[in-house]
Structure 1
Amino acid sequence: MTSTNSADGGFARLRAEFELPEDFHPSVLAEAETVVMDPSVLAADRADETDLPLVTLDPAGAKDLDQAVLIERSAGGFRVRYAIADLAAFVAPGGPIDRESRRRGQTLYLPDGTVPLHPPVLSEGAASLLPGEIRPAVLWTLHLDRDGELLDAEVRRALVRSTEQLDYASSDPVALHPSIAALPEVGTLRRELAVRRGAVEPQLPDRMIGANGGDWVLGMRPRTRLEAWNAEISLLTGMAGARMMIDAKIGLLRTLPEPDAETLDWLRGAGRALGIDWASGTSVAELLAGLDPRQPESMAFYTDTTRLLRGAGYTSFDGELPETVTHAGIGAPYAHVTAPIRRLADRFAAEICVAVSAGEPVPAWARDALAGLPGQMSASDLLAARVEKACLDQVEAWTLAGRTGETFEAVVLRAEENRAEIMLADPPVMAKCAGENLPEGRRIAVRLTAVDVDKRKVSFERA
């Protein structure tokens, strides 16, 4: 990591620029305070599954805990119990919380704090699957064979009690908690199946912003094995939910069309230019799985591959299946059902799955919302992406302020005729660099030519 020269006020100007809400309307807070005191939230018709030794696994310090998991071996393979926070128990259709959550769409994460989807009394309190607390949940039971393939799934409402809050930083992937001791095996099997399905997953490391004293700092964090395995459980559940909704011909899917031939031809050309051996008959997924993420040409190819993931959206349907029901990046139909505290769509998709699994009609409030959800979620996704980029751009500018004229080592990620997208080795800044025919996938020296902190822009040229 590298220290920054951050301006006074942190991200307040950015929050104002994007008109991010500072708090919830009093009516929303009042409804939240009332509902968390309502005993009927726990007294509804729910199975008592509080004896299940579920655990949560999240980034250190997380309070909005959506999921708790238990993985058991069975005679035929594995059984996954996956409890998801049941926000529908707290959110009255058409009420203040419902209306405000539809306006927000999802929780926004900024370095100096979140803009939550729901009031913290819910998202970090009564709805969160905190350890030792009885909580209403949507409980998935997923049966897998010995190869990790899904055999069948069911979902119902339950009361659960997480036994422990685990985090990625302190959990040992070799000696995991007994409730997730089988996670490495299941996660590995599911990742192997993902490659066979054709799932496209560029292994680009996450750029992070953290605090160091009074400064904001940039860092790089590669995805750990534990995070990758845990993500497979969420993906598995999302695929099971999508299949339920497709079979019932009602639902909300996350979709992405298959890439066209022209895009694939372009990607093959990019691979050849980088010196990547792409054997005939090898899928994009298989090729990505075999690359070394530490090599600069791999980073450049990962960046090129993100072009295949453009165009993802949300598709709702009721009575007739849409033309596209799959997500090409996952290689299967998929739905968001596992993060209702942080994402609007999950509350509605989970409600549909509960009804379908029980053979009951989908509640009118969930059915009526379907038409508007794709637009609401797409708008919130766009805002979240813009806010995340603005935060990174701001810290990059703070980091490089006063260093104009210095030379840095960089990797060329994507080259055009007169400029390229580069990533510095230290600090991990991603920016545009001027220069003709810059060698994609190669390390070069670049010179910082300008920094504009107010506009959050930095410029480079080849040294």
Structure 2
Amino acid sequence: MGLQGAIIEYMEQGRFICAMVLDEDSKRLRLINQNGREVNLPLSRLLHQSAKRHSLTLSRDEQLRLLKEADQNRQAMLPQIDLAGIWQLASEEEGASFSPAFLAELAFGEDATDNHVAAFLRSIFVDRLYFKYKEGQVLAHGPEAVAGLRLKQEREKEQEALMSTGAMMLKRLWDGDTATEWPERDRCLALLGDYYVFGNEAEESELARELLKKAGLTGPHDVYHLLIRSGVWQPHENVALLRYAIPVDFSGELSAAAAQAPEPVAEELVGRNRRDLRELPLLTIDGESTRDYDDALHVERRGDDFLVGIHISDVAHYVLPGTPIYAEAARRMTSLYFPETQIPMLPRALSEGVCSLVAGKARAAMSVMVLLSSKGEVLEFDLIPSLVQVKRQLSYPEAERLVASGDWELQALAKLSEQLKQRRIEKGALLLPVPDVNIRIDPEGKVSVALLPVDTISRSLVAEFMVLANTLSAQFVADRQAPGLFRAQDDPHQRLIAGGEKDLFSIFRQRKQLKPGELLVYPKPHSGVGVMQYTTVTSPIRRFLDLVMQHQIKQLLSGRGAMFSADELAGVAGDINTVLARVS
């Protein structure tokens, strides 16, 4: 190649180095560089070579002087180079490549010297936005590539700013300086939040890890506490809601639409296929913090038999298919209950307002009226739209005390519920009661955990009559050969215990033998409940499935056939399974 005596240029650790060629072979050059080091350089690393050759008889000091001068001159020329302007000219010829000397002449407006050419090459390595160097030629990027590279550079600058100041500011936040502000504060805290929620799946997980490492915040929950201290998250922030993008608040439009739902007016509701049952002695039994009352009970003597009313809030009267509130309910599928908060399926103006069976308020309802023998045999039943008014709003502990003190209605309901339970057990039902884990957070943030039995008299009473209403509603739809949303379950792999077993160890052993439940459009038996067909209709405020079935039943009652086809319900069932798997 004849490079002896040439001043060449190469890069080392991001810096441009000038060197003089002392010797060469087919693959490598022996050099003395501007720092006085002798180097063996592969030819592939050569960026530029001077046209001029210098005598190798020059002293070492003279060689170093020439190299340092070349380096300084080239560096001084960089500010004079208008890469954007040169690119405007060069990019007119799409796909063309240029010699470095030609572009250097455009840059400096004169015959290109070795220093001009080398300076131009340095400029395109320093700013890679417009050109790239390949095999001795310079290629101009197209407009789209320049736009993409510019965006990338802006992001890199943003990341550099985050890293340079972010780590220090995060440490100050961690140390209690909550007034700390800096331009990238929101961006920085947002990416840390994403990283805590999504882990390595977060879009900028690598940047977040580097930032935390530099700030010394490497504990598993440091980000969680940092975001609370900075006011981004609330104390006890529910990360699962963020991870699965579960909606918490309702839009202003939905809240306004719900608020427009009028209080029921008896004169407008009664007589249009809706029976006035406001004089009946309805009672509710719920948790002490419940505000969304969607079911109530009453009982009357009918000779030796008992007429029991299971009254369910008529949510379908207010939430119609095709409306935004219905669509939002379909998106949420269920209300969610947490120690620190409740996330309703419907706006509170509905769920705790006109749809809630609040004591003393007239409410639209769907009533399952069942005539039972004293042994819990269903003699006849009817499903009717109704207008009801709850007389007593009881908590589970209050209901327990009233049963013990001889309250006739509650004692009658308790005895009948026990008969219903035994009938189900005889038909193969497996009750498998497991205590509820009740977690509470008081206003001061103190957490308490308690186990609540689910088989107390009051809880069993409510559960049995809800099972009865669900079973009879499923029978009503099935008898009309209409599609619905039916829950089913095959017999367990192995039956280890009788249905009423209360030993926890035995219950958990049996649970492992259960087959998975199904959600079907046409009925099959439900082994676990001990019935031939089963659905759920008793919580239309809280479950979308129950709301859909309420619409289907109301339309069948009106004599207009089914509201939803089998195909439509199959789609709803798929959506329910998908969403509930996500929120479980």
TM-score under structure 2 length normalisation: 0.56
Distance 1:156 1:112, change over 3 A: same
- Local SS of the residue matching 1:148: coil
**Distance in 2 between the 1:79 and 1:136 partners?**
20
**Distance in 1 between the 2:463 and 2:303 partners?**
25
Q: Residue 27 of structure 1 corresponds to which residue in structure 2?
A: 253
Q: Residue 95 of structure 1 corresponds to which residue in structure 2?
A: 323
Q: 1:219-368 residue pairs with structure 2 within 5 A?
A: 219-223=450-454, 224-259=456-491, 263-264=493-494, 268=496, 284=497, 287-289=498-500, 291=501, 293=502, 298-317=503-522, 325-332=524-531, 333-357=533-557, 360-362=559-561, 364=563
**Distance in 1 between the 2:406 and 2:581 partners?**
37
Task: Specify which of 370, 394, 414 is matched with residue 166 of structure 1.
Answer: 394
Distance 1:156 1:242, change over 3 A: same
- Local SS of the residue matching 1:371: helix
> 329-338 or 344-353: which moved more?
344-353
What are the superposed Cα offsets for residues 308-329 of structure 1, whole Å, 9 maximum, x if unpaired? 4441132114xxxxxx511111
- Equivalent residues of 2:483, 2:565 under 8 A apart: no
Q: Which amino acid aligns with 1:301?
A: S
- Local SS of the residue matching 1:250: coil
**Distance in 1 between the 2:275 and 2:238 partners?**
45
Gaps of 5+ in 1: 1-5, 269-283, 318-323, 386-463
- Equivalent residues of 1:20, 1:115 under 8 A apart: no
Distance 1:312 1:204, change over 3 A: same
**Distance in 2 between the 1:75 and 1:168 partners?**
29
Displacement of 1:196: 0.4
**Distance in 1 between the 2:288 and 2:264 partners?**
30
What are the superposed Cα offsets for residues 329-379 of structure 1, whole Å, 9 maximum, x if unpaired? 101111101110011111221233344455x12353687742322112222
- Equivalent residues of 1:107, 1:114 under 8 A apart: yes
**Distance in 1 between the 2:269 and 2:302 partners?**
32
Q: Residue 424 of structure 1 corresponds to which residue in structure 2?
A: none
Displacement of 1:255: 2.6
**Distance in 1 between the 2:512 and 2:530 partners?**
16
Distance 1:73 1:37, change over 3 A: closer
- Local SS of the residue matching 2:464: helix
Distance 1:16 1:225, change over 3 A: same
Q: Residue 218 of structure 1 corresponds to which residue in structure 2?
A: 449
- The runs of at least 4 consecutive aligned structure 1 residues that moved more than 4 Å come to 37-42, 365-369
Q: Which amino acid aligns with 1:335?
A: T
Distance 1:219 1:310, change over 3 A: farther
Q: Which amino acid aligns with 1:336?
A: T
Distance 1:253 1:75, change over 3 A: farther
- Local SS of the residue matching 2:367: strand
- Local SS of the residue matching 2:519: strand
- Equivalent residues of 2:340, 2:440 under 8 A apart: no
- Equivalent residues of 2:470, 2:536 under 8 A apart: yes
Displacement of 1:39: 5.7
> 116-125 or 42-51: which moved more?
42-51
- Equivalent residues of 2:301, 2:307 under 8 A apart: yes
Q: Residue 196 of structure 1 corresponds to which residue in structure 2?
A: 426
Q: Residue 11 of structure 1 corresponds to which residue in structure 2?
A: 237
**Distance in 1 between the 2:504 and 2:573 partners?**
32
Q: 1:76-155 residue pairs with structure 2 within 5 A?
A: 76-155=304-383
- Equivalent residues of 1:86, 1:127 under 8 A apart: yes
- Local SS of the residue matching 1:202: coil
Distance 1:164 1:40, change over 3 A: closer
Q: Residue 72 of structure 2 corresponds to which residue in structure 1?
A: none
> 363-372 or 185-194: which moved more?
363-372
**Distance in 2 between the 1:147 and 1:366 partners?**
38
- Local SS of the residue matching 2:416: helix
- Determine whether 1:187 maps to 2:417: yes
**Distance in 1 between the 2:481 and 2:299 partners?**
30
RMSD of the alignment, in Å?
2.4
Displacement of 1:30: 2.1
- Local SS of the residue matching 1:370: helix
Displacement of 1:64: 0.4
- Local SS of the residue matching 1:10: coil
Q: Which amino acid aligns with 1:381?
A: L
- Equivalent residues of 2:309, 2:370 under 8 A apart: yes
- Local SS of the residue matching 2:404: coil
Distance 1:226 1:146, change over 3 A: same
Distance 1:116 1:369, change over 3 A: farther
> 367-376 or 306-315: which moved more?
367-376
- Determine whether 1:57 maps to 2:272: no
> 10-19 or 122-131: which moved more?
10-19
**Distance in 2 between the 1:106 and 1:169 partners?**
26
What are the superposed Cα offsets for residues 121-158 of structure 1, whole Å, 9 maximum, x if unpaired? 00001110000000111111111122101122111111
Displacement of 1:203: 2.3
- Local SS of the residue matching 1:27: helix
TM-score under structure 1 length normalisation: 0.69
Displacement of 1:76: 4.2
Distance 1:59 1:374, change over 3 A: same
- Local SS of the residue matching 2:581: helix
- Local SS of the residue matching 2:260: helix
- Local SS of the residue matching 2:521: strand
Q: Percent identity?
A: 25
Displacement of 1:87: 0.6
Gaps of 5+ in 2: 1-223, 229-234
**Distance in 1 between the 2:295 and 2:414 partners?**
18
Distance 1:364 1:101, change over 3 A: same
Which one has a larger percent strand, Structure 1 or Structure 2? Answer: 1
Aligned residues: 346
- Equivalent residues of 1:168, 1:227 under 8 A apart: yes
What are the superposed Cα offsets for residues 187-234 of structure 1, whole Å, 9 maximum, x if unpaired? 111111121011111122111211254222222111212101211001
Q: Residue 415 of structure 1 corresponds to which residue in structure 2?
A: none
Which one has a larger percent helix, Structure 1 or Structure 2? Answer: 2
**Distance in 2 between the 1:32 and 1:21 partners?**
17
Which one has more relative contact order, counting CA pairs under 8 Å at least 6 apart?
Answer: 1
> 187-196 or 31-40: which moved more?
31-40
